[in-house]
Chains A and B, each alone.
Chain A
């Protein structure tokens, strides 16, 4: 299927109009498009790269956004009590606790000697 469309494109682009007319195939798009469409496609590809990069930068939360700290799932999570000697359920640990653990409890972890 792909090969056939490729052969058809090459036939349309290269064979002169008069020859195609003599066979009987008269109703074709202008030959201008045989060059224009690939150029359009390439430019679209280049712009897509830049656009996706830009969309990513726009969607990144700024430093003062609450979304860097928590979100709706974390706010509405059920507060289950952990049973003794069982693996605790998966939950979101608040940032204050994480900070205490990293920077106060484990003193040697981040400070260089």
Chain B
């Protein structure tokens, strides 16, 4: 069962939420960020090349221009490969664990898997982020020494940063699965 919706992130930009339900104990949430726009790319390139031309007009050394072209190309490639995240996915499998995948604009995918034994809870936390207070979903991990304590906080959807309406939906689905998991794990 698939469902697509358009939601907004904390800055007001558009995000695409896609939720899939594979089984009652397995759900997936995909958040798609907007692509790199031609306008921002042109603006950045023009800015770098204008600065380079200004320097060239000052020192009359043509190496500055070729360096600027080089820097622009390398910067674009580096940005697409290391910084620009296209899509973030959260997959919860009730009996197994939680998997977070980030796919970058160059096609690179980075995956983190947390097994269910380590997960204490999935909560919506509020924190101060860059002169704003935002809601974000995070996974609380158990302390290996004392299971009642929280030892680590793993935030999810770090680069997409959706607003509270999307977070509440994801939170409720996760709580359903976790509650179901707690019931089935305690009963023999």
Contact = CB atoms under 8 A, between A and B. Distances in A.
Contacts of A100: 175
B127 A68 contact: yes
Given A96-B121, A104-B175, A66 B150 contact: yes
Contacts of A66: 150-153
Contacts of A64: 138, 152-155
Contacts, number: 54
Interface string A59-100: 011011110111000010000000000000000000110011
Contacts of B150: 66, 69-70
Max chain B Cβ within 10 angstroms of own Cβ: one of A64, A65, A75: A64
Interface string B152-165: 11110010000011
Contact of B125 (A95, A104, A110, A111): A95
A33 interface: no
Interface residues on A, range: 10 to 19
B153 A69 contact: yes
A112 interface: yes
A66 B151 CA distance: 7
Given A60-B128, A69-B153, A96-B121, A110 B164 contact: yes
Nearest to B164: A110
Contact of B172 (A70, A75, A104): A104
Contacts of A61: 127-128
B186 to A, nearest CB: 17
A9 interface: no
B171 interface: yes
Given A96-B121, A103-B171, A63 B127 contact: yes
A77 to B, nearest CB: 12
A63 B168 contact: no
A110 B121 contact: no
A103 B155 contact: no
B125 A69 contact: yes
Contacts of B49: none
A69 B140 contact: yes
A103 B149 contact: no
25 contacts: A60-B128, A61-B127, A61-B128, A63-B127, A63-B136, A63-B158, A64-B138, A64-B153, A64-B154, A64-B155, A66-B150, A66-B151, A66-B152, A66-B153, A68-B127, A69-B125, A69-B150, A70-B150, A95-B125, A95-B140, A96-B123, A99-B123, A103-B172, A104-B175, A110-B168
